[in-house]
Amino acid sequence: MSTYHFIGIGGAGMSGIARIMLSRGYTVTGSDAKESSVVEALRAHGAHVFIGHDGSHVEGADTVVVSSAIRHTNPEIVRAEELGIPVIHRSDALATLMEGKRTIAIAGTHGKTTTTSMTTVALQAAGKDPSFAIGGQLSKTGTNAHAGSGDVFIAEADESDGSFLKYRPEVGVITNAEADHLDHYGSWERVREAFVEFGSHVGNMGGTLIVCADDKGAASIGREAREQGTNVILYGESDIADARVNASTHGQGVSVSIAFEGQEYAFDIALPGTYNALNATAAFLSARAVGGDPQGIIQGLESFTGTRRRFELRGIEKGVRVYDDYAHHPTEVTALLTAAKKVVDPSNKVHVIFQPHLFTRTKNFYREFARALSLADDVIVLDVFPAREDPIPGVTGELIAREVTSDVTYVPAFSDAVPTVVERVKPGDIVLTVGAGDVTILGPELLGALAQ
């Protein structure tokens, strides 16, 4: 068996692929910037993981795997090229693992992780043992990947760098499609072209493309794919949907009814928001398309407890509920806060600690972020989490904060966020830590501060 070395092995996407390779008998090494529970779990499965990056780490590897977040100047990439070791993108490694499987690839600007997770749990409950690779961890099991014994492989298909176009799925899902990742694409038109090409791959495989009819961008792509001869199922509350959805909120969950092909399927999910009802519908249709028993699928969806960092309840202290969410696009923030307003008593407040992710995204969408955040009662905006980018002059969290119309405070010092919130909350309020960066660590810190 070959030896694969993963640079940044602790990342959500990379760790899942590494885990499956370990299960299939490959030798896996890797490096990451810091220790983490993910790194420890990979070691427990047999991976040799270095902390820090050094060219010597790749020596002995047959293939080096990288993500788009790894810069070409990384010493391990430099050394691999000197040694003539092939360097491949993680999507190429994932595509290799999909070979010989009936693949479900779930794409979309938002909702991919939750929908992929729901589909996985649904098929497991239907008696299948699918392989899966998710860009987040299932709340119940804490895992993001598995090498199953069944013939189905479920994958979250990341559009951010165009790598989802390397997959050839039997079932493809587009939860929505709108402008994002403009640092890669440059324009909405190019984003749309990529999703159209994704749909064509499904059509070329003689597969089924499942598309949200309620999203303007996705619906137009679905209609175009249908005109080109692809088998398309449109789902949603829209009149044009083939699978018509009716969703009603109850407490912190949603009742879902799907009318499709002369049958009606009804179930409850334990997650708030109409957007999660749509995600559950996409999961239902995907699982059904590969032969899952509808009743088993429904049992799985009703048992689904969520994905970490997706409206995840981190704890309750002094009557204050603290949630964490990965939302990092204005549409995601809007959906999140709309759902949050429905699970809090009208006499209480929704507080948000928001950390913008990427300088380019902040520059492109700061007004839209401000409009979305204004749905909350009290907003704290942190500075930008840079991820893979260099700073852009004048682009900070303050750019967003200046446009927010509800109570807002720009807090450039990360350590000041929790003390600021503690002074403002009261029993019955909810607090959300929101963003794709390290804002997630503030949830436990806030709970600790409230307990004092």
Domain boundary assignment for the chain: 3-89, 100-303, 312-451
Return the pLDDT at 309.
Answer: 77
What is the distance of C-alpha 277 from the center of its chain? 16
Instruction: Report residues of the chain scoring pLDDT below 50.
Output: none
Question: What are the φ/ψ torsions at residue 172 (nearest 5 degrees)?
Answer: -120, 145
Torsion of CA 18, 24, 28, 31, to 10 degrees: 10
Q: Tokens 């999203």 — which residue?
A: 215
Total-model pTM: 0.80
The residues, ordered by sequence, that sit 6+ positions from 89 with a Cβ below 8 Å of its Cβ are 65, 66, 67, 68, 163
Overall fold of domain 100-303: UDP-N-acetylmuramoyl-L-alanine:D-glutamate ligase (3.40.1190)
pLDDT in tens, 224-273: 999 999 999 999 999 999 999 999 987 778 999 999 999 999 999 988 88
Q: Which of 200, 261, 266, 206 is nearest to 234 (CA)?
A: 261
Spot the catalytic one: 156, 159, 170, 312.
156
Q: 3-89 maps to which CATH number?
A: 3.40.50.720
pLDDT at 251: 74
C-alpha 325/C-alpha 254 separation (Å) is 18
Q: What distance in Å separates the CA atoms of residue 342 and residue 39, rounded to the nearest whole number? A: 37
- Number of Cβ within 10 Å of residue 230's Cβ equals 22
pLDDT tens string 203-220:
999 999 999 999 999 999
Which top CATH class is 312-451?
alpha beta
Catalytic residue among 29, 103, 112, 175: 112
Clarify whether 112 is annotated catalytic: yes
Position 140 scores a pLDDT of 65
Rounded to whole angstroms, the maximal C-alpha distance in the chain is 65
Q: Per the annotation, where are the binding residues for ATP?
A: 108-114
